[in-house]
A and B are shown apart, each in its own frame.
Chain A
Amino acid sequence: MGRRCMKLPRLCAAVVLVIAVLSACSARGAGVAGTGGAGKATNTATFALPAAVTPNWIWPFAAVQDMGVQNIAFLQQLMYRPLYWFGDSNGGPAVNSSLSIAQLPTFSPDGKTVTIKLKPYTWSNGEEVTAQDVVFWMNMEKAEKQNDGAYVPGQFPDNITSVRTPDASTIVLTTSEAYSQQWFTYNELGQITPMPTAWDVTGPGHAGTCATSTAGCAAVFSYLTAQAKDLPHYATNPLWQVVDGPWKLKSFNSDGHVTFVPNLSYAGPVKPTLAQFNETPYTSEAAEFNVLRGGKAIDVGYIPPQDLSGPKPAGAAPAAAGPNPISGYTLAPEYLYSINFFPLNYNNPQVGPIFKQLYFRQALQSVVDQNAIIHAASAGYGVPTNGPIPLYPASDLISSLEKANPYPFSLSAASDYLTSNGWKVVPNGTTTCVRPGTGAGECGAGIAAGRALTFDLQYYSGQQTVATAMASLKSNAAQVGITLNISGAPFNTLTGTAVPCHGSGCTWQMENWGGGWNFAPDYYPTGETLFLTGAGVNVGSYSNPAIDKLIQATNHDSGTAVMQAYEDALARDLPVIWQPDYPYQLTEIAGGLKGVTPQNPFATLTPENWRWSK
């Protein structure tokens, strides 16, 4: 009897002891590991791929589902150089002429003729990179534009009326209209990747005619697509071994283990010094971090924000690094050129009329506390979004209005917007419309008396930052009587529900899949894909004719003034609700590995810059 009575306390004591030991051990665990520099001994570098993505498309002509960064930046552009490279040597979003295969284009005075001169580059099979290779790409694009993810109807290649090659290294394009030089270079010419004539085949040993005429492209397209679907043979297929970039494939495994070796015939300005470049896959961020801590397997990896030992000091610059718990590694936050937001459905029959009122959007934006969310959800690493132009990295496109933030976080301002437009604000209750009508100071068209501000907001619960941001938004909105019924949903539900619609079946209200917009491959942040009436990705069906005119101007007129005019107007008009923009990842670089920073704002990699210091 006595023995039995003692079992339970003994069991409890054991459990408590184990927990105490674990806590103590974990506390000691911080700061251990990382001798950093696993690849130093062999002059190689191992790069950790983002969680749960693996490269799986090698041909630089891809449908939209294959256009992820893992294919473009981590596979294709290492081997097949695009015509123009974006991301300058300071980490800014400008075009990089030294890494581009062509010189910057020149425009005729009327703006309709564009001349591109190629620099002397060679393919690894000995052939030169010629104008024919560019025309090959343009023909393929013309013939198979439905299969190109970057195609926007009315734009490239529909707006090209003729393509001439006066000599082997010059291409002259004639456009149907005069376009903005920046927009045309960044978003249209930026799509081109010259393809070698070795790829102009319809079968092994059967030459195709796509490089000379569009009629022959369908057959070449089928053959190259079939080759691109044959993942086990990526490293041995002779087609893919013809490269003009600094690297070529040594081995490729569809589970994500990829190795590259230098291409000795690369003609660019920086040649690789590493003997080998490896990519390794991870099922989750936590799995990658566990391996990173060991210090033996990863040279360039990342740390999830939750594992930081402390937040970044407030007020520090976005690129500044806060405390780094891994010794032997340097922390370098990596931001992409992107904005973050979630859309409202203007065509929803019930709540659409409310969304269409600017004052409501102003109120809703004013209850978003971006700085607090960045502090709590991302340890201080993040940049607020105030408008359609990313605030980081710095560029002269950013206007002073956007930088100053037309709608800072302010519960009193939100309350004012509502009360001065016919609503009775009940903090922590329900705000209702008390002055319906379309006059000044009244709620607006389609809003009946007694109407309450209650909305459904679905968000991507699989991402910690989004979950925290939405909990905070709900809480803040409640303080001015706006009720947000938030619920988590899987990613595919959200993207499937948030589609442009109209009519009585158009029932979604607000959807936040956490993604916002990444300006790649549309490197110049004009708004014709996002905010133009009827644009494909304008899922909320936002429509403002004045903004449409400004967007058209950004496509046709060069210079920063026209961009800033568009930017200011859109920042004021709040087509969507802006959200904080988080770093793409918090990169950890092994001590002794130089040349990894500054990181490219389009996530492209340049391992030819990386070298181990002595």
Chain B
Amino acid sequence: MRPVTTAVAVGENADSEGGHDASTVGLPSGKPKSMFRLGAEVFLQNRLAVVGLGVLGVALLFCFVGPFVYHTNQINTDLMASTLRPGQPNHPLGTDQSGYDELGRLMVGGQTSLEVGFAAAFIATLVGTLWGAVAGFVGGAVDSLMMRVVDALLAIPTLFLLLFLVTIVRPDIEVMICVLGLTAWLVPARLVRGESLTLRVREYVQAVRVMGGSSRRAVVRHILPNVAGTVIVNATFQVADAILLIAYLGYLGLGISPPATDWGAMLSNGTNYIFPNYWWLIYPPGVAIILVVVAVNFVGDGLRDAVEVRLQRR
């Protein structure tokens, strides 16, 4: 087992805090803190992660609670009110090409983007991590077979797969989540398998084996937590990727059917208007995507540090 030594091991932010070191964390004034509590503490010490969580919370409120507070008609078009500038009496952020109020559109689009982003990333990470961990740990023919399946799927151009899937099914939200999840699990699978390969020859894993632990225990209790760092970083990128991929699909004309929309489709439509400078169609969805994705990444960083702590306390 790895001994706890310097402050380096206890989360990234410990040294500049100056206050924490091995002597004050979990010392006997009673029972040691639980893993979860420890992780949560470290997470909360990371200011950026907390800010990220806050931004996500605000985004969720804006998108899901906002429409109850700020009523707009997002179903019926109003073509004569097309592309109005912000500042109109009923439209603080102007309207888009079909006459929908832009602020209301941001809320509706955000619902889709957030739902698809998190759900697809969850599916992709879950499937990919398990696949890769098992493949890397078991090794041999099973590893070869599993990885060749991944290779075969990776080799089909994503664009083609998406084009095919979108063509044969009607693109509503649930379908898009499945489609995106199923195309995105390949990268985490390969990444995790790569790390798993190196980990299974590490001393502590071999120790588990020697002590009579089962393979399943080795995978779940030892391999998975140690690839957690890479997995968490990858998971946060998966959320970003899912939101961006659905934006890309909207750009190609393969996205969700109207009157539903998402931030990416709004942005892609908006970039058509960059020359006449219809900024209210371009920057609000763009900034929304960037803010949410950056926030998710900060949270991911915080989670990674929290998981690191758990590792150190074994």
Contacts of B272 in A (CB 8 A): 286, 304, 306-307, 464
Q: Output the least CB separation between A305 and chain B (Å).
A: 9
- Interface set, chain B 88-105, CB cutoff 8 A to A: 97-99
Contacts of A474 in B (CB 8 A): 77, 258-259
Please determine whether B98 and A461 come into contact, CB atoms closer than 8 angstroms. Answer: no
Stretch at the interface among A1-9, A431-439, A566-574: A1-9
The contact of B97 among A30, A309, A376, A486, by CB within 8 Å, is A376
- CB distance B171 to A375 under 8 Å? no
> Given A369-B79, A474-B259, A488 and B277 touching (CB < 8 A)?
no
User: B257 to A26, Cβ gap below 8 A?
Assistant: no
Q: Chain A residues near B259: list those with CB within 8 A.
A: 471, 474-475
B113 to chain A, nearest CB (A): 18
Instruction: Tell me which of A306, A375, A471, A488 contacts B77 (CB under 8 A).
Output: A471
Whether B276 lies near A488 (C-beta < 8 A) is no
- Give the residues in chain B near A462, CB-CB below 8 Å: 252-253
A293 to B82 alpha-carbon distance, docked (Å): 26
Chain A, range 436-478, C-beta contacts under 8 Å to B: 460-462, 464, 467-468, 470-472, 474-476, 478
Find A19's partner among B253, B254, B277, B287 (CB 8 Å cutoff).
B287
Most A C-beta atoms less than 10 A away, residue of B99, B257, B273 = B257
- Please judge, given known A-B contacts A4-B16, A8-B51, A306-B272, whether A475 and B76 are in contact too, CB under 8 Å: yes
Q: Are B98 and A488 in contact (CB under 8 A)?
A: no
Q: Which of A4, A15, A375, A489 contacts B80 (CB 8 A)?
A: A375
A-B CB contacts (within 8 Å), total count: 107
B75 on the A face (CB < 8 A): yes
Contact between B47 and A4, CB atoms less than 8 A apart: yes
Q: Flag B235-256 by CB within 8 Å of A: 1 or 0 each.
A: 0000000000000000011110
Knowing A23-B283, A325-B275, A375-B82, say if A487 contacts B76 (CB, 8 Å). Answer: no
Query: Is B207 positioned at the interface, with any CB of A under 8 Å from its CB?
Result: no
Q: Does B202 count as interface, using CB distance less than 8 angstroms?
A: no
B275 touches which one: A19, A289, A489 (CB < 8 A)? A289
Q: Are B254 and A490 in contact (CB under 8 A)?
A: yes
Point out the residues of chain A lying under 8 angstroms from B4, CB to CB: none
Instruction: Verify B257–A486 contact, CB threshold 8 A.
Output: yes
Instruction: Please tell me if the beta carbons of B99 and A376 are within 8 angstroms of each other in the complex.
Output: yes
Encode contact with B along A480-511: 1 for CB under 8 Å, 0 otherwise. Answer: 00000011111001000000000000000000
Contact of A475 with B276 in the complex, beta carbons under 8 Å: no
Minimum distance in angstroms from B92 CB to a CB of chain A: 17
B257–A488 CB distance below 8 A: yes
> Quick check: A29 and B171 within 8 Å, CB to CB?
no
**CB of B65 closer than 8 Å to a CB of A:** no
Docked CA distance A460–B98 (Å): 17
Question: Which A residues between 273 and 325 are near B, CB-CB below 8 angstroms?
Answer: 286, 289, 293, 304, 306-309, 325
Q: What residues of chain A lie closer than 8 Å to B99, measured between beta carbons?
A: 376
A372 sits at the interface (CB 8 A): yes
Asked if A226 lies at the interface with its beta carbon under 8 angstroms from chain B, I say: no
B217 CB–A CB distance under 8 Å: no
Contacts of B47 in A (CB 8 A): 4-5, 8
Highest count of chain B CB atoms <10 Å: which of A369, A476, A487: A487
Alpha-carbon distance A267/B300, docked complex (angstroms): 75
A23 contacts which chain B residues (CB < 8 A)? 277, 279, 283
User: How far, in angstroms, from A126 to B17 measured CA to CA in the complex?
Assistant: 92
Contacts of B273 in A (CB 8 A): 306-307
Which chain B positions have C-beta within 8 A of A461? Answer: 253-255
Could you tell me if B79 and A30 are in contact, using CB atoms closer than 8 angstroms? no
Are B279 and A26 closer than 8 Å at their CB atoms?
A: yes
B167 to chain A: which residues have CB within 8 Å? 489-490, 493
CB contacts (< 8 Å) of A38 on chain B: these are: none
Give me the interface of B with A, judged by CB distance under 8 Å: 16-17, 47-48, 51, 75-77, 79-80, 82-83, 97-99, 163, 167, 170-171, 252-255, 257-259, 269, 272-277, 279, 283, 287, 290
Closest 8 CB pairs of A and B: A376-B82, A462-B253, A372-B79, A376-B79, A461-B253, A306-B272, A475-B77, A475-B76
Q: Can you give 5 A-B contacts (C-beta < 8 A)?
A: A289-B275, A307-B273, A369-B79, A472-B77, A476-B77
Other A-B pairs beyond A7-B48, A304-B272, A471-B98, 13, CB < 8 Å: A8-B51, A26-B275, A26-B279, A307-B276, A309-B276, A372-B79, A376-B83, A461-B254, A471-B259, A472-B77, A475-B75, A487-B257, A493-B167
